[in-house]
């Protein structure tokens, strides 16, 4: 019992000293509190609102027929487009776009109606301002829907001309299709990507905060009166004490990320919050293990900011958000499987957007626990044979330098 009490006491002392380091270090406070609270809001505001409506368009109608006028009316009736007028030629339309009076130009060539009347494909050019991809998406969806609808109407007219009695056999759509996007009812880009980005932000904050702490405990010891080693008698006890400290600080930011950010920006919230927090627990542990490993490569706090840029791109690439994992080569798929956020993104999106329960993300949940165990074993090895010996060598060098300076001052006196 005495050994157990001493072990718990050592873990608690590490826990308290780690708190002291964090409270006196503005960089750590930034990574652990400000970034998890501010970054999701900033990223969400970039694509808010998710859908754009009535974006101005200018039309160049060189054909001037009833069919082209109907095409323009159909486009103007769409939610995404508002036709503000006609232009005589392309330079005039481009002048309107340069002045930001419109963000798209539809050019209908001469002979468009005759080409369609011969049963051939009529081509119309659509020019878009690419400064905002949401506008481009709206123009593309509206023009595609209108073209398909008008093409279907023209095809049905041709069929009726060939076989007039066909219209008496059936009326209406024989196979009506109702498109419902599960998990993203509004088809918004923000609702699609932000639930996954929230998990990536959480992982990055944890890894980089632990990395910065590894450099800060050596650089700022004289300023905060912090023991550079901050170790208990056990390496794993030291890691547990620090992990509990970070868990305590990150509790509120994690709840904010998981529940309040989707609530503020009306993201999908089909899952159970408690189950989502239970699912993210092994991901947080695995991210801490990566952070402990990362301490072996961080000797200065400033180097963390360079790592932020490099690793953010890599983790986003392998997360499956912009590059599906099933389409990755074997090497990239293996690397993505080693990242806690990869499985965290897959499971969290299923739970938060599609309402999956914890038992329905069993594969992702088990992989996160396996990664947590694997990264903690690797972290123990790194801390035991790399980080602690390096810290001891730096400490001995500093003591030798101080002794040498002290002896020199005595000689001078």
Strand partners, 106: 59, 126
DSSP type of residue 129:
-
**pTM for this prediction:** 0.74
Residue 225 has a pLDDT of 44
Residue 403 has a pLDDT of 46
Percent of the chain with pLDDT over 70: 80
Q: Is the pLDDT higher at 339 or at 389?
A: 339
Position 231 confidence tier, pLDDT thresholds 50, 70, 90: low
Strand partners, 83: 57
In sequence order, what DSSP letters do the residues of 251-307 get, joined into one string?
HHHHHIIIIIHHHHTT----S-HHHHHHHHHHHHHHHHHHHHHHGGG-SSTTHHHHH
Residue 50 has a pLDDT of 66
Six-digit token pair at 322?
A: 């912009």
Residue 402 has a pLDDT of 47
Mean per-residue pLDDT over the chain, rounded: 81
Residue 37 has a pLDDT of 87
Cα gap 111→349, rounded to integer Å: 49
The pLDDT tens digits of the residues spanning 295-351 come to 888 777 777 777 777 778 888 888 888 888 888 888 989 999 999 999 999 999 899
Q: Is the pLDDT higher at 64 or at 185?
A: 64
CA of 328: how far to CAs of 171, 193, 317, 337, 347, in Å?
Answer: 47, 19, 10, 11, 19
Q: Could you tell me if residue 225 is left (phi over 0), alpha (psi between -120 and 50 degrees) or otherwise beta?
A: left
Cα gap 29→41, rounded to integer Å: 18
Whether residue 48 contacts residue 134, with contact meaning beta carbons closer than 8 Å, is answered with: no
Position 372 confidence tier, pLDDT thresholds 50, 70, 90: very high
Residue 344 has a pLDDT of 93
Residue 179 has a pLDDT of 61
The pLDDT tens digits of the residues spanning 123-138 come to 888 898 887 777 888 8
Percent of the chain with pLDDT over 90: 23
pLDDT at residue 209 tops 80: yes
Residue 136 has a pLDDT of 84
The pLDDT tens digits of the residues spanning 86-101 come to 998 899 999 998 888 9
Residue 186 has a pLDDT of 65
Position 229 confidence tier, pLDDT thresholds 50, 70, 90: low
Among 142-151, 211-220, 274-283, the minimum mean pLDDT is found in 211-220
Q: Mean pLDDT, to the nearest integer, of 110-117?
A: 85
Among 34-38, 183-187, 222-226, 228-232, the minimum mean pLDDT is found in 222-226
Residue 217 has a pLDDT of 63
pLDDT at residue 174 tops 70: no
């Amino acid at each position: 019992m005495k050994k157990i009490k001493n072990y718990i006491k050592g873990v608690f002392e590490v826990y308290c000293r780690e708190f002291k380091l964090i409270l006196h270090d503005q960089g750590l406070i930034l990574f652990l509190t400000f970034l998890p609270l501010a970054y999701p809001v900033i990223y969400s505001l970039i694509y808010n609102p998710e859908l754009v409506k009535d974006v101005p368009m200018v039309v160049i109608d060189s054909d001037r027929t009833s069919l082209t006028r109907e095409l323009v009316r159909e486009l103007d009736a769409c939610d995404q487009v508002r036709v503000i007028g006609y232009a005589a030629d392309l330079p005039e339309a481009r002048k309107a776009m340069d002045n930001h009076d419109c963000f798209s130009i539809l050019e209908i060539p001469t002979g468009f109606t005759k080409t369609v009347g011969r049963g051939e494909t009529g081509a119309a050019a659509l020019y878009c301002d690419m400064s905002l991809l949401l506008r481009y998406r709206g123009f593309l969806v509206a023009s595609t829907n209108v073209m398909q609808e008008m093409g279907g109407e023209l095809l049905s007219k041709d069929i009726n001309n060939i076989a007039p009695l066909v219209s008496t056999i059936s009326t209406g759509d024989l196979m009506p299709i109702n498109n419902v996007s599960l998990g993203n009812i509004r088809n918004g880009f923000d609702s699609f990507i932000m639930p996954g980005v929230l998990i990536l932000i959480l992982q990055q904050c944890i890894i980089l905060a632990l990395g910065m702490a590894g450099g800060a405990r050596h650089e700022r010891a004289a300023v905060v009166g912090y023991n550079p080693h901050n170790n208990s008698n056990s390496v794993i006890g030291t890691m547990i004490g620090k992990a509990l400290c970070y868990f305590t600080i990150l509790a509120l930011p994690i709840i904010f990320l998981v529940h309040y950010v989707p609530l503020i920006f009306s993201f999908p919230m089909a899952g159970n919050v408690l189950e989502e927090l239970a699912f993210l627990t092994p991901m947080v542990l695995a991210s801490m293990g990566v952070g402990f490993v990362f301490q072996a490569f961080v000797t200065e706090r400033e180097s963390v900011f360079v790592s932020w840029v490099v690793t953010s791109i890599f983790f986003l690439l392998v997360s499956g958000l912009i590059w599906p994992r099933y389409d990755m080569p074997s090497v990239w798929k293996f690397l993505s499987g080693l990242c806690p956020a990869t499985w965290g993104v897959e499971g969290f999106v299923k739970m938060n957007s599609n309402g999956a329960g914890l038992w329905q993300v069993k594969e992702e949940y088990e992989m996160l626990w396996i990664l947590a165990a694997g990264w903690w074993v690797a972290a123990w090895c790194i801390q035991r044979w790399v980080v602690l010996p390096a810290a001891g060598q730096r400490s001995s060098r500093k003591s030798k330098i101080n002794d040498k300076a002290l002896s020199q001052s005595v000689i001078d006196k």
